[in-house]
Amino acid sequence: MTDTPPALTDSHCHLDFPDFAGEIPAIVARARAAGVRRMVTICTRLGHEPRVRAIAEAHEGVFYAAGTHPMSAAEEPLAGLDQLVALARHPKFVGIGETGLDYHYTAGTRDRQQESLRIHIEAARRTGLPLIIHSRDADDDMARILSDEYRAGAFACVMHCYSSGPRLAEVALSMGFYLSISGIAAFPRSEALRAIFAAAPADRLLVETDSPYLAPPPHRGRRNEPAFAADTARAMAAALGLGYAEFAAQTEANFDRLFARAAPARIAAAGA
179 phi and psi, to 5 degrees? -110, 130
Residues 6+ apart with CB under 8 A from 54: none
Residue type, 57: E
CB atoms within 10 A of CB 21: 8
Give the pLDDT score at 265: 63
Give the pLDDT score at 1: 39
Give the pLDDT score at 268: 52
Residues in the chain with pLDDT < 70?
1-2, 265-272
- Report how far residue 77's alpha carbon sits from residue 72's, in angstroms, rounded to the nearest whole number: 9
Domain ranges (residues) in the chain: 8-271
Give the pLDDT score at 271: 45
Alpha-carbon distance values, 128 to 26, 37, 109 (Å)? 33, 24, 28
Give the pLDDT score at 254: 98
- Report how far residue 160's alpha carbon sits from residue 141's, in angstroms, rounded to the nearest whole number: 16
Superfamily (CATH H level) for 8-271: Metal-dependent hydrolases (3.20.20.140)
Helix (H) or strand (E) holding 134: strand 131-136
* CA-based radius of gyration for the chain: 17
Give the pLDDT score at 3: 80
Q: Which residues pair with 63 in a beta bridge?
A: 40
Dihedral over alpha carbons 272, 205, 203, 60 (to 10 degrees): -20
